[in-house]
Structure 1
């Protein structure tokens, strides 16, 4: 089962819900059921009863055949002992719960943005969007872009999203690329005949300086790393094997940024380039002046003051070095949050799925499949023999093929094993289960419908062809 969605309440306190379930049957390898219903209570017990009732109404033997469930991280759904996921797993022991990976990533981003010294900068971006979206100002915004960027298409500022924080990358990216135009528009309206509009323009213009431009480039760079992963995690063709590869890739990229000075040097070059267009000077970003020594201590040697604030002003450093000192803790925080958010039981299962990835060095390794064996109660002895035989069969079958012709994904592996299901029942069963385990609850139904269709077509061809 791949989660549920809730819309705003209807009259009388009813809540419309939708569910999507993927299950395996006796004569049909995989099935998909989608259902919309109404619930009058949203506590864990009521939601569990509603979901199980939907499965029963479709005649699905969920106790034996339900192999996965995915939701966001709300406590009512993911509570360890009394949440919906725990209650369903008591009824269906194979219904492994996966916390929506797109939601996990959203939580990482929220925590990282909160750690930024000037998270309030997002409020300024929202105010700029509101101001420039007005019809009178918007016309000038388009005219200024045509003047400054005659060979480029005009761009629109993006509104912030309170739920999908990865979308804030789009907001920062457009603002960074059109900062010169934003400044030009505000300067032109600072003395507008409309007093209210002129005051708003001057107020916004006063907050846009070299420090704002510098932080905008850094935020865009950091959010871009997360946004790329967020988009991929919501791809309709993504499976858990690819998800774990993408997460590890992003983590490796962040670690490289943290350890390689050249990465920050390249970022700083972009900061200076972006600041130059609107006429800003990065030297204006020099840290605040040193605190003056109390006159009562002028006759003493003072090495440090007990009232010194946390977060040194770094006034003895260059602007670039001061920025570097503030930049690295943000990367450290992001790495810590990614490790914390993607390191539980579900992620251990994801790592076990690498043994079913044809491009992994651990492909068909029995030792790496312990997570899958425990979660879905595979017969260890049979699985060990079948994996060994399957590996030898694939080696003989593809020894004369080029790398481009060999299987590259979990779905490719399922297609190959389909005709040999009776010879390799345990690997085929685990591969089918793995391919429909949820990555993101936002994808409930779309990817699974495609996968079920493909696998069932192979099944039909095998028995009726």
Structure 2
């Protein structure tokens, strides 16, 4: 029962697991390419930890294995990098076979100069840093509790009580849930605030302020707009978090979301009018007549901006006075969201996604050898023309080619010993199309 003995048992179990992972990665006849995943977090005792996982392919299936969780007092890029290297050291991995890092977008992890990914590139020169697609998407787009619950029971006894969700900047789905629940429980929220506005002190001031803001057409319109936008983005969010999604589907999800927002922006389907009708229905239901809070006199733009188009300003904004102002607000929200998507989902720098599409038989670019040259050059892999032509014909000739929607199915179908061997690399490895699929 001694905690010293328990610690020894845990260390022995961890050592055994690491040995099994190392065996799996080294037992295959061909070199195993791998990627490193890492994140820093706090445990229940508020200690800062670094978690490290490795992702690789074993027997035709993607494997992700946790390697360790180590505490660190140094959360600088250098400190985190050193911890990651210490965790990886027992595996004895070949640095030239590391093809990617996956970290969050914090500057300490993603910085091109001095970030963790930059420091680790000195050890793993062929690795490509990937900022989690779901995390990026999430970045584009947070009382009186007892009485709130009690009013729900009184006003809606037929349904279970619900809680408002805390909005999280790194999880778009939390914002979607928050907006949806505010809309769903708007009557309960208004009643709760109305009760507390009849009390005294700071509670009354806070309740009055919130009540005034919520009883405006502008706020109801914003709730309806963001509920609509979040519902659309939720499909992409859940898709990007799916463990079964392939890179070409990632592209499709993001491009579909962009097209949806563009359709909203050009209003070809009358989406603005639909949002406006729903807003007015809610206003009638809750007897809301105010357009916006009373604003101070409208501020004039400085002369230096007279020839510019200003979409937003710091400080107080102009009051919403008519449906034309709401349309301008609708356009501004969509323009900002599309700009964020285009900024965070830039062109495929290394051509990896385009190369993946060129290898999948269901893609319109299948068999386009030019598309695989950039990542092959990045990872030091040479595939000759004859071999790629043979690979293309080999896949076309398979009767079940439609059952190969991702690279994993292709990897299963293309045994490494089928394809002709090229000249060995400096490490002694032979590279073929099979290696390209693994990367």
By relative contact order (CA 8 Å, sep 6+), the higher-ranking structure is 1
In structure 1, what is the Cα distance between the partners aligned to 2:281 and 2:60? 63
In structure 2, relative to structure 1, the CA distance for the partners of 1:369 and 1:275 (3 Å cut) is farther
Q: Distance in 1 between matches of 2:62 and 2:220?
A: 56
Give the 3-state SS of the residue equivalent to 2:67 in structure 1: strand
Equivalent position to 1:80, from 112, 125, 128: 112
- Structure 1 residue 332: Cα displacement: 1.5
**Does the Cα contact within 8 Å between 2:264 and 2:272 map onto a contact in 1?**
yes
Offset at residue 39 of structure 1 (A)? 3.0
Shift of 1:187: 3.8
- Name the SS of the counterpart of 1:332 in structure 2: helix
* Preserved CA contact (<8 Å) 1:70 1:99: yes
**1:361, distance to aligned residue in structure 2 (A):** 0.8
Per the alignment, do residues 19 and 318 of structure 1 end up closer, same or farther by CA in structure 2, a change over 3 Å counting?
A: same
Whether the 8 Å CA contact 1:2–1:21 is kept in 2: the answer is yes
| SS at structure 2 position matched to 1:18 | strand
Counterpart contact for 2:126–2:378, Cα < 8 Å: yes
Match of 1:408 in 2: 405
* Equivalent in 256, 277, 296 of residue 269 of structure 1: 277
Select 2:97's aligned residue among 50, 65, 68: 65
Partner of 2:150: 139
Task: Report the CA distance between 1:197 and its aligned residue.
Answer: 6.0
1:178 maps to which residue? 185
Distance across 2 between alignment mates of 1:103 and 1:28: 24
Q: Mean Cα displacement is larger for which, 406-415 or 30-39?
A: 30-39
3-state SS, counterpart of residue 39 of structure 2: strand
| 1:91 matched residue in structure 2 | 123
Give the equivalent residue in structure 1 for 2:224.
217
C-alpha distance in 2 between matches for 1:138 and 1:29:
46
Which structure has more helix as a fraction of its residues? 1
- 2:407 is equivalent to residue 429 of structure 1: no
User: 1:16 aligned to 2:49?
Assistant: yes
Structure 1 residue 35, shift from structure 2 partner: 1.6
| Aligned twin of 2:22 | none
Q: What's 2:134 paired with?
A: 102
Partners of 2:360 and 2:366 within 8 A in 1: yes
Residues 358-392 of structure 1 deviation map (CA, whole Å, 9 limit, x = unaligned): 43211232122233222222214x2x333322222
How far did 1:188 drift?
A: 5.1
Checking the alignment, whether the CA contact within 8 Å between 2:67 and 2:88 is kept in structure 1 is no
2:375 — aligned with what? 372
Report the CA distance between 1:203 and its aligned residue: 4.1
Is the 1:287–1:319 Cα contact (8 Å) retained in structure 2?
A: no
Q: Does 1:5 align with 2:11?
A: no
Q: Offset at 1:15?
A: 3.7
Number of residues paired by the alignment?
A: 384
Question: Structure 1 length as normaliser, TM-score?
Answer: 0.70
- Do structure 1's residue 360 and structure 2's residue 363 form an aligned pair? yes
How far apart in 1 are the matches of 2:58 and 2:182?
Answer: 52
State how 1:182-221 maps to structure 2 within 5 Å: 182-187=189-194, 190-191=197-198, 201-209=207-215, 210-221=217-228
Q: Describe how 1:380-395 pairs up with structure 2 within 5 A.
A: 380=383, 382=384, 384-395=385-396
SS of 2:69 mapped into structure 1: strand
Check conservation: 2:221, 2:275, Cα contact below 8 A.
Answer: no
CA–CA separation in structure 1 for the residues paired with 2:103 and 2:354: 20
Q: For residues 155 and 8 of structure 1, do their structure 2 counterparts lie closer, same or farther at Cα, with a shift above 3 Å needed?
A: closer
Q: What secondary structure sits across from 1:218 in the alignment?
A: helix
- Aligned partners of 2:418 and 2:43: how far apart in 1? 49
| TM-score with structure 2 setting the length | 0.74
Calculate the aligned-residue CA RMSD, in Å.
3.9
Measured in 2, the distance between the counterparts of 1:178 and 1:328 equals: 27
Deviates more, 1:405-414 or 1:194-203: 194-203
CA contact (8 A) 1:141 1:185 kept: no
- The alignment partner of 1:228 has SS state of helix
Question: What secondary structure is seen at the aligned counterpart in 1 of 2:405?
Answer: coil
